[in-house]
Structure 1
Amino acid sequence: MDYSDPNAFTLPFQLTKQVRRDVYPLLEPTQPELSAKGKTVLITGVSGGIGKMQVIAESWATAGASGIVITGRNTEALESVATRLQSLAPATKVLAQSADITNEASVAALFAAAKEAVGKIDVLINSAGSLEAGLVGTAEPTKFFTDFQVNVLGTYLVTQNFLTQADGSGTVVSFTTGAIATVFPGMGGYTASKLALTRIMENLHAEQPNTRVFLLIPGIVQTAMTVDSLKPYAKDTPELSASWTLFLSTPRAEWLRGGIVSVNWDIEEMEAHKDEIVRDNLLGRAFLNAKLGKDGHPWS
């Protein structure tokens, strides 16, 4: 691998020849096709200081969501984001509710508050995450499994409560990572937990046919979680991930249900090969079917 190439950690995971790094016209939150009017959304991990999740909430506000619930552990940070959202969309109902997603009672309280503030949640965005670097066998077990507590247990608890209040319907978008397809020394807990999350969401898709399930790879965004070795390759904007969550909530994304998609992939190129993607299940099974690489999948 040529590590001097800024795309070194992006091209190996490309499905499309076109590489997207930022929002393009189809994904502008102001596009009528991406309108969130009449929809309520709950976004986890917003107070983590990452910035990406705040941008997601802002995109939903720009798109006119009727209700936005943001959660995380930092109450002060949440309130700051809520103020920003209200300035963007004064008509949108906004709830900032701190919660520990790894605690059942805390998650139950979150959804009780959400019901009172905005009613039923239509869209869940599982964007809270943990990355505790450490080598297998030498990392302290409690620290190593923090990633499983947040990325797997936490996401499961939030999703379970979402499904209960949504009567088994609605849209669930869970963030995963392209790193599940390879091995990064020191990131064993993170990649293993994200791989476990991916399989759980694939099961949810198979088991709950009325629930729209998507797995989204955000590319490499410069955040507090980005490990130092990957920072030179963090070329993707948080706005791109935000717009993708809007897109996945629309009917146009229906054919992608249950699949793993990356923000770096061009939507229109994928649509041009829709039949092949669906026929060969190229978006499932942790990339075992699609041939990813520099020039994208070799379309038939």
Structure 2
Amino acid sequence: MSSTTTASRVALVTGGSGGIGRAVVERLAADGYAVAVHYAGNPARATEVADQITAAGGRAITVGADVADETAMGAAFDAVEAAFGGIDVVVNTAGIMLLSPIATLDLADFDHMHRTNVRGTFVVSQLAANRLRTGGAIVNFSTSVTRTQFPAYGAYVASKAAVEGITLILARELRGKDITVNAVAPGPTATALFLNDKDEATIANLSKAVPLERLGQPADIAETVAFLAGPARWVNGQVLFTNGGLA
């Protein structure tokens, strides 16, 4: 799908002000999409991203909401539709990761993480299922750790396994609507979320675990999202492991 055809398409990216979300926003804007940069708690950072896009000749707005709050997210969808006339693509990068062995995990952390990662994905997916235009795409986010089973990731992986289930079933439920639903499962990616609380030795070991012997970059993940958002009309109900070959 060329930029001439994506120029009329509109994307809402949750968690779009930082990390992978920001890379996705920048890539879709470069591909010609009008983009809505969603944020939960940092409007200044979202505005910075949107201003950068508009300064380069693109179209961008910001929308703020708790992804797990269906009323607030419904208002965010309203704002995007009012600004751009409709929505074609929803990319749900918003998520949190709190690591701990299962035996010692604070259950308040479990609840907090699952509210954002599971309920938030469900709310956004539900709204997208009802409001995307024909030819649309929903892209949710899982993790490659659903396969690698690293210790301390138990509660996080549980939330992302739920995201995969939501994604794969929704793809089948939208039969006949010409809306694709897929999930991206990144491997080790150099974002603040991933690098936080990891020492250099741990980061080096994770880099070496990948056959390409490097961490992924947010742009690597955004490339996969751009594929699913636009040209990949025959890819549906899938989880794409974008991880450099991590086993």
TM over 0.5: yes
**Smaller-chain TM-score range?**
0.7 to 0.9
Equivalent position SS for 1:137: helix
> 1:68 aligns to what?
35
The structure showing larger relative contact order (alpha-carbon pairs under 8 Å, at least 6 residues apart) is: 1
CA shift digits 1:102-136 (9 cap, x unpaired): 11221111111111111211001011111011222
Q: Quickly say closer, same or farther: Cα 1:104–1:139, change in 2 above 3 A.
A: same
Question: Could you list the runs of 5+ residues in structure 1 that have no partner in the other structure?
Answer: 1-30, 267-291, 294-300
1:136 aligns to 2:136 (yes or no): no
The one-letter code of the counterpart of 1:58 is E
User: Letter of the aligned partner of 2:150 in structure 1?
Assistant: F
Q: In the alignment, what sits opposite 2:8?
A: 38
* Larger of the two Rg values belongs to structure: 1
Offset of 1:208 from its aligned partner? 1.0
Contact 1:163 1:169 in 2 (8 A): no
Is the CA contact (8 Å cut-off) linking 1:34 and 1:247 kept in structure 2? no
* 1:41-60 aligned within 5 A: 41-47=11-17, 49=18, 51-60=19-28
1:268-283 matched pairs, under 5 angstroms: none
The answer to whether structure 1 residue 231 and structure 2 residue 210 are counterparts is: no
* CA-CA distance at 1:58 after TM superposition: 0.9
Counterpart Cα distance in 2 of 1:239 and 1:140: 33
Determine if contact 2:141/2:185 at 8 Å carries over to the other structure.
yes
Aligned-partner Cα distance in 1 for 2:173–2:134: 10
Shift in alpha-carbon separation, 1:221–1:155, aligned structure 2, 3 A: same
How big is the shift at 1:83?
Answer: 0.7
Q: Do the aligned residues in 1 keep the contact of 2:53 with 2:59 (CA within 8 Å)?
A: no
1:260 corresponds, among 239, 242, 245, to 239
Q: Where does structure 1 differ by over 3 angstroms across 4 or more consecutive aligned residues?
A: 31-35
Pick aligned residue for 1:153 from 85, 110, 119: 119
Instruction: Say yes or no: does 1:93 pair with 2:93.
Output: no
Q: Could you tell me how far apart the structure 1 residues matched to 2:236 and 2:244 are?
A: 16
- 1:165 and 1:114 map into 2 onto residues whose CA distance is 11
2:223 aligned partner: 243
Distance across 1 between alignment mates of 2:2 and 2:81:
27
Query: Contact (CA 8 Å) 2:144, 2:243: kept in 1 or not?
Result: no
Cα RMSD (Å): 2.3
One-letter code aligned to 2:10: T
Contact conserved, 1:201 with 1:213, CA < 8 A, in 2? yes
SS in 2 for 1:217: strand
* Aligned pairs for 1:183-198 within 5 A: 183-198=149-164
Q: How many percent identity over aligned positions?
A: 28
CA shift digits 1:162-220 (9 cap, x unpaired): 22222686201111111011322221111010001101111011111222011112222
**Using the alignment, how far apart are the partners of 1:169 and 1:247 within structure 2?**
14
Maintained 8 Å contact 1:145/1:189: no
Number of residues of Structure 1 aligned to a counterpart in Structure 2: 232
- Could you say what secondary structure the match of 1:213 adopts? strand
Scaled by the length of structure 1, what TM-score is found?
A: 0.71
Asked whether the 8 Å contact 1:68–1:93 carries over to 2, the reply is: yes
Determine if contact 1:52/1:223 at 8 Å carries over to the other structure: yes
Instruction: State how far apart, in whole Å, the 1-side matches of 2:242 and 2:4 are.
Output: 16
Letter in 1 for 2:48: S
- TM-score, with length taken from structure 2: 0.85
Matching of residue 208 in structure 1 with residue 174 in structure 2: yes
Instruction: Rate the CA distance shift 1:34–1:217 in 2: closer, same or farther, 3 A.
Output: farther
Amino acid of the structure 1 residue aligned with 2:36: V
